[in-house]
Chain A
């Protein structure tokens, strides 16, 4: 344990927050879609992965990272809306397992398509030049790009919060997640709302994939790994709860980061241990409602 100073632990905590920020972005999209549409989107990881690849492709065409930050969520969101409209919509009202199986299959198709187009091996993804290097954050030097990830996530969360709390459409989303029927009786075309919510959720997944790319590179399987971890986040935070996704995402990031410091061989299992503990103590998660699927 020699050399474990306070500063090192603090730095690792920040690294955990950066990792957690990606989980948060991924999980809020998953939660938003589940809360509103009761669709467990198993293709969420594939949208995340395609987001990273679209970024890679745009940059190879001569685009820059900043352009990608806008274009990738836009394109992935439109793609998500097309998927909802064409593939998922016919399955509403048939029970939760139909869209689950569909998105599960879709994720394989998407991964395979990317393998065909870009090859099976991964690519490195350059950190944009102005975000390279490290800055002194008081406890030591911390990679600037990771700081940027935390900041970008905070901005997305703020925008999403303003959207949900302050706009009429946000009010419809909040009410529709609780009671779609009354929203319909009050004149809202709920299927249009579902379409847009699925688009927003997948757009955020694409954005998360792009943000994660400079940290870990880009491979066709990158979505599968984070999907498993994000389900832990959703279960810990409570299915369908956005606040829960934020808190649990950061917590999971910090737990992974801390266990890789103190017991690296435990890092992969630690989050599942965390999930088991939460499930025993509070089966519905931090902010979940019990009996959501009954």
Chain B
């Protein structure tokens, strides 16, 4: 579904990604792990179209993405939940959800889809008309995920979804990722909480200093304490 080869990206003069190559097959949960600054977020940003300078190739469903603007990538079925969540201030929970549909061909079924997503996220259902930024961090994270999911993307990319969230909500969220996989959504996950991520992932890539240094099945990596210690301890 997603093939990345020799992806390079720059922030100004700093060469943030160096020849990153990775693949995500349909229906998989693939995890990117590594220390802060290893290039995990930059990889996701390059895929969705938020990096100004990139080179290489990112092919999604047979189409080259790198020269397409972000809104075209969304239309192809890509969704992205940024680390900072980016819940829009001044808008209610419902309006944030509607925002996930404004560019979707499913816009006409807005009310139906909001009701559907509210069943998946009962915490949001109770707060549809509340101003979104007044909710707790965990609830805002749920909203960011719901907003990205509501248009039914083929591949969803999540950046540090568990960061700063109560453990009970994290469990709920990871159960949700399993459900997403069961329903056929492909997931590319960046996560600090390595044990938790590897527990639900099929495969994982380890990044260090902007390059892929290791690649293995999640089960292998879970058992490999040396790799985890070398590249993932903060």
Give residues in A with beta carbon < 8 Å to B: 168, 171-172, 174-175, 178-179, 181-190
B151 sits at the interface (CB 8 A): yes
On whether the beta carbons of B102 and A185 are closer than 8 Å, the reply is no
Q: If A168-B102, A171-B102, A182-B82 touch, does A189 touch B71 (CB 8 Å cutoff)? A: yes
Shortest CB–CB separation between residue B61 and chain A, in angstroms? 16
Q: Chain A interface: which of B86-94, B111-119, B185-193? A: B86-94
Q: Which of A178, A179, A181, A188 contacts B102 (CB 8 A)?
A: A188
Q: Which of A171, A175, A179, A184 contacts B71 (CB 8 A)?
A: A184
Q: If A171-B102, A175-B99 touch, does A181 touch B69 (CB 8 Å cutoff)? A: no
Bound: A188/B99 CA distance, A: 9
On whether the beta carbons of B91 and A190 are closer than 8 Å, the reply is no
Q: If A171-B98, A181-B50, A182-B82 touch, does A187 touch B88 (CB 8 Å cutoff)? A: no
Given the complex, which residues of B lie within 8 Å of A179, measured CB to CB? 86, 88-89
On whether the beta carbons of B75 and A187 are closer than 8 Å, the reply is yes
Q: Which 8 A-B pairs have the closest CB atoms?
A: A187-B103, A187-B74, A182-B86, A184-B70, A175-B88, A189-B71, A168-B102, A187-B71
On whether the beta carbons of B99 and A185 are closer than 8 Å, the reply is no
Bound: A186/B75 CA distance, A: 9
Q: Which of A168, A182, A189 contacts B88 (CB 8 A)?
A: A182
Q: 13 A-B contacts, Cβ less than 8 Å apart?
A: A168-B98, A168-B102, A171-B98, A171-B102, A174-B91, A175-B95, A185-B48, A186-B103, A187-B71, A187-B104, A188-B71, A189-B69, A189-B71
Give residues in B with beta carbon < 8 Å to A: 48-50, 69-71, 74-75, 80, 82, 86, 88-91, 95, 98-100, 102-104, 107, 147-148, 151
Given the complex, which residues of A lie within 8 Å of B71, measured CB to CB? 184, 187-190
Given the complex, which residues of B lie within 8 Å of A168, measured CB to CB? 98, 102, 107
On whether the beta carbons of A171 and B48 are closer than 8 Å, the reply is no
Given the complex, which residues of B lie within 8 Å of A190, measured CB to CB? 71
Shortest CB–CB separation between residue A185 and chain B, in angstroms? 5
Bound: A183/B82 CA distance, A: 12
On whether the beta carbons of B74 and A183 are closer than 8 Å, the reply is no
- Shortest Cβ distance from B89 into A: residue: A178
Bound: A40/B56 CA distance, A: 38
